[in-house]
Amino acid sequence: MRKTQLKLAIISAFTALAIIYGLSGRPVGAFAEGPPAARTGAPGELICADCHFGHAVNSGPGVLTLTGLPANYAPNQEVTLTVTLTQAQRARYGFEATALDDSGRQAGTIIVADTVRTQLTSAAVGGNLRSYIEHTFAGVSPSGANQGSWMFKWRAPSTSVGRVTFYVAGNAANGDNNLTGDFIYSLNVSTQPQVSLPPVATVSAASFNGPSLASAEIVAAFGNNLADGEQVAAALPLPTQLGGTQVEVKDSANIERAAPLFFVSPTQVNYQIPPGTALGAATITIIKDHVAVGSGSAQIAAIAPGLFTANADGKGVPAAFALRVKADLTQTNEPVAQFDAAQNKFVALPLDLGPDLGANSDQVFLVLFGTGIRFNGGLAGITATIGGVDAQVTFAGAQGGFVGLDQVNLRLPRSLAGRGDVDLVLKVDGQMANVVTVKIR
């Protein structure tokens, strides 16, 4: 053979090897160590079928899915996503995915959560650097019967970038390290930015203070268009839907719970913070007829004490009664408020502590009702003063007969006799409840 013919033969052989094995020295048809970047089929990219011959994209009997992506994303929201490729009688499975905005730029951050089966790579496409998640050498092995599955995380952009589309390509391979016989699949899944909802303010239904609230507390949300009409819960357990209105509370652990409802109206919804809600920031969403109509936030604390009042405004005379215990241990209940028609409100009714008979004097207790108190650290951390005088706290906890209602019992000091209108200040584990007023004869 002449030198020129030999040289051409060597060049042809080298070219053939380069096509089959790639310049990296691994079989191009298999890409068991991970495919080249920019093979998801996103705008400006190739797709696996550009190298794997024999079957059109999505022409096989398999199914490629991406699960875990919410319909709407919030700034910096982090979610766990799973790509799954299912097809019987395949030896290997592979994938590659990226997340882009409508301008072709990288959207958010892709995070490796499984270092055994997935890895990151990147490439510049159209002047934009894109990040990709793809399988590793170990990740081509089946993860279950007739399927390959890969899990990773995605952190949404810190600000809205409009629609975000995940471009995913998958390969159900026969494992013969050739470019033929493999089935290629392609999938695009989008998520939209979270719609800005009308604000809803949630406060304690007793004190009307916020945003610090407690798990299991009775609260009230205020907004507009929250319900189509007024409706009151008629039975226990409390419903989580009244007249088509629901309340969802998502806590700091990213767990969403449906709230028990007491009452709904177009401008107010009374509900209970779901028991078990984790401490920290919580998001509250009001849903009407399956459509979100309002949103707000709250800070969930261990306790957030509030006292109910007779006028249901967090002020004035408390929603309470006096318990009188005589020397012979007989007990009577007495009101602490009466309705004044002229003022169109409840006013304090004077409490009579009774004559001073030494050890035989009446003992008078004030039984208060509130909420956000039950998870206190014990009586040692609870104080009460009435007119500046210390009052012994004998009980503070769940009332037991009404959902979310708490009870506090105070012994009234005899030194208060004749003081008239006095302020009652209750502190639970250092947190002060709304100040209420009683009258002592």
- Among 433, 441, 440, 439, smallest CA distance to 209 is for 433
Q: Is the pLDDT of residue 204 over 60?
A: yes
% of the chain with per-residue pLDDT over 70: 93
Q: Is the pLDDT of residue 61 over 90?
A: yes
Q: Is the pLDDT of residue 226 over 60?
A: yes
pLDDT tens-digit readout, 147-189:
999 999 999 999 999 999 999 999 999 988 887 899 999 999 9
pLDDT tens-digit readout, 103-114:
999 999 999 999
Q: What's the whole-number mean pLDDT along residues 255-272?
A: 97
Buried residues in 261-272 as b, exposed as e (16+ CB within 10 A):
bbbbbeeebbbb
Mean pLDDT of the chain: 91
Is residue 371 very low, low, confident or very high in pLDDT (cuts 50, 70, 90)? very high
Q: What's the whole-number mean pLDDT along residues 258-268?
A: 98
pLDDT tens-digit readout, 74-128:
889 999 999 999 999 999 999 999 999 999 999 999 999 999 999 999 999 999 9
% of the chain with per-residue pLDDT over 90: 85
Quote the pLDDT of residue 318: 98
Other CB atoms within a 10 A radius of the CB of residue 342 amount to 6
Q: Is the pLDDT of residue 14 over 50?
A: no
Quote the pLDDT of residue 130: 98
Quote the pLDDT of residue 31: 63
CA-to-CA distance for 320 and 436, rounded, in angstroms? 11
Torsion of the alpha carbons at 174, 177, 183 and 187, rounded to the nearest 10: 120
Same-fold call for 32-193 versus 201-301: yes
Q: Is the pLDDT of residue 21 over 90?
A: no
What are the strands of the beta sheet with 183-193, ordered from one edge? 72-73, 183-193, 164-173, 92-101, 128-135, 118-125
Q: Is the pLDDT of residue 10 over 70?
A: no
Query: Domain map of the chain by residue range?
Result: 1-30, 32-193, 201-301, 306-440
CA-to-CA distance for 40 and 121, rounded, in angstroms? 12
Q: Is the pLDDT of residue 15 over 80?
A: no
CA-to-CA distance for 145 and 162, rounded, in angstroms? 38
Fold of 201-301: Immunoglobulin-like (2.60.40)
Q: Is the sign of the CA dihedral 96, 101, 106, 112 positive or negative?
A: negative
Quote the pLDDT of residue 29: 38
CA-to-CA distance for 10 and 16, rounded, in angstroms? 10
CA-to-CA distance for 108 and 78, rounded, in angstroms? 10
pLDDT tens-digit readout, 23-37:
333 333 346 688 899
Quote the pLDDT of residue 48: 78
Quote the pLDDT of residue 50: 74
Is residue 237 very low, low, confident or very high in pLDDT (cuts 50, 70, 90)? very high
- Among 295, 226, 303, 225, smallest CA distance to 261 is for 226
Q: Is the pLDDT of residue 311 over 90?
A: yes
Q: Which residue has the higher pLDDT, 395 or 33?
A: 395
Quote the pLDDT of residue 180: 84
Which residues are registered as beta bridge partners of 144? Answer: 147
Report CA-CA distances (Å) from 433 to 297, 377, 408, 409, 440: 21, 16, 12, 14, 21
Q: What's the whole-number mean pLDDT along residues 374-398?
A: 98
Q: CATH number of the domain at 32-193, out of 2.60.40.4060, 3.40.50.300, 3.50.50.60, 2.60.120.260? A: 2.60.40.4060
Query: What's the pTM?
Result: 0.63
Q: Is the pLDDT of residue 394 over 50?
A: yes
